[in-house]
Amino acid sequence: MFENVTVAPPDPIFNIFSSYLKDESATKVNVGIGAYRTDEGKPWVLPVVRKVENMIVNSPDLDHEYLPLDGLKSFTDASAKLILGTNSPVILEKRYCAVQSISGTGAVRLGADFLKRFHDKTVYLPNPTWANHQSIFEDAGFTEILEYPYYNPKTKGLDINNLCDNLKAMKENSIVLFHACAHNPTGVDPKEEEWTQIAKIMKEKKLFPFFDCAYQGFASGSLDKDAWSVRHFVEQGFELLVAQSYSKNFGLYSERCGCLTVACQTPAKAEAVRTQLCKINRTVISTPPAFGARIVSKVLNDPELYKEWVSSLKEMAGRIKLMRRMLFDELINLGTPGNWNHIIDQIGMFTYTGLTKEQCLLIRDKFHVYMTESGRVSMAGLNTKNVKYFANSIDQVVRMT
């Protein structure tokens, strides 16, 4: 029966994490996985999440009934408003639908499954992108998945001219995936004027935008600023998909809490799309999980709790920015060969250091520093106690190679 089954290749990120766990060195550093850590290197349950969690668990009305196929309505409505903006024309004219998903990954997959059924076109992904994007679209059955240039290794910034030229050459109606903010893995986002330029070409070429938003609030500390790209496209009249994740900005990694929001031309179309998304949910997950959605819903719908959340978000974004500054200063003090400005120019959870694969393997072997072979560093893994050691390790590896 299973004669033809071979061992699947390990997931690069989870594989690095398990090697890190096995490492017995006292100075080991984990900058592989994208999960927030405190300055003590510990996971952080946001105080507002802890508070609401207790409220939910202690509520006499708590039950474990199924949610509807499209999830918890107070959660999905609030999610759509969070990403599109309360005063978005799409919200005011009720021409959207929002369906709960298994976190951000599930939202991308739900969107891909939907597009495969109703808009089976070429998909363009940024190069580089989150490693899972390619596999998700492949598994959803897309046969033409291409890349568009995004990152310029020379400038360690956005390759805007090449990106725009590529958009102009795409087939009409193609699907173009964007990271709404805090691009993973590069930490490089288009500036507002660059998003404007991108939207203009997308409109001329009738291209379809699919935003993946896994870091709203994490990039800049401002929820509105990090949603600018999506809102700009909506203002320009696009129909679009947005996959939202609450893993990072609520620290709800294991609760698998996410939402797929779709902006449509009319309320009737939005309702049709909603029912199709429900139909997909029904066969894949039947109904979404409630606990994370209940937490997020309570926070997003209560002004006081919302304020507490925003302050924690700012704290997380601020700590990451501080780590960027400290790492940069350490490398400058050491006189490490190369230009390191990108560490403070890039934003969000990740820095694309520019270290080569060889250097990434060497830093793991010699210094017990775990990062992906692409040179991506999760800044959340750094803290005031290990940043000096980390900078020294980079310095030595750069000088050795």
CB of 105 to ligand PLP, least distance (A): 3
Give 247 or 312: the residue with its C-beta nearer to ligand PLP.
Answer: 247
Give 129 or 393: the residue with its C-beta nearer to ligand PLP.
Answer: 129
Residues designated as active site: 130, 212, 248
Quickly list H helices, 29-102: 47-57, 73-84, 89-92
User: ω into residue 185 within 30 of 0, thus cis?
Assistant: yes
| DSSP result, 311-356 | HHHHHHHHHHHHHHHHHHHHHHHHT-SS--HHHHHS-SSEEE----
Q: Which residue has the tokens 């102009």?
A: 168
Looking at residue 394, its amino acid is I
Q: E strands, 84-160, where?
A: 96-102, 123-127, 145-149, 151-152, 157-158
Residues that bind ligand PLP (CB under 6 A): 34, 103-105, 130, 179, 184, 212, 214, 245, 247, 258
CB of 292 to ligand PLP, least distance (A): 10
CB of 63 to ligand PLP, least distance (A): 26
Give 184 or 297: the residue with its C-beta nearer to ligand PLP.
Answer: 184
Give 107 or 305: the residue with its C-beta nearer to ligand PLP.
Answer: 107
CB of 58 to ligand PLP, least distance (A): 27
User: ω into residue 128 within 30 of 0, thus cis?
Assistant: yes
CB of 385 to ligand PLP, least distance (A): 25
Q: With H, G, I as helix, E, B as strand and everything else as coil, classify residue 243.
A: strand
Instruction: Please name the residues in contact with 228: beta carbons below 8 A apart, sequence gap of 6 or more.
Output: 181, 192, 195
Give 88 or 244: the residue with its C-beta nearer to ligand PLP.
Answer: 244
Please give the backbone phi and psi of residue 377, each rounded to the nearest 5 degrees, phi first: -120, 130
Neighbours of 3 (CB within 10 A): 4
8 A C-beta contact, residue 52 and residue 298 = yes
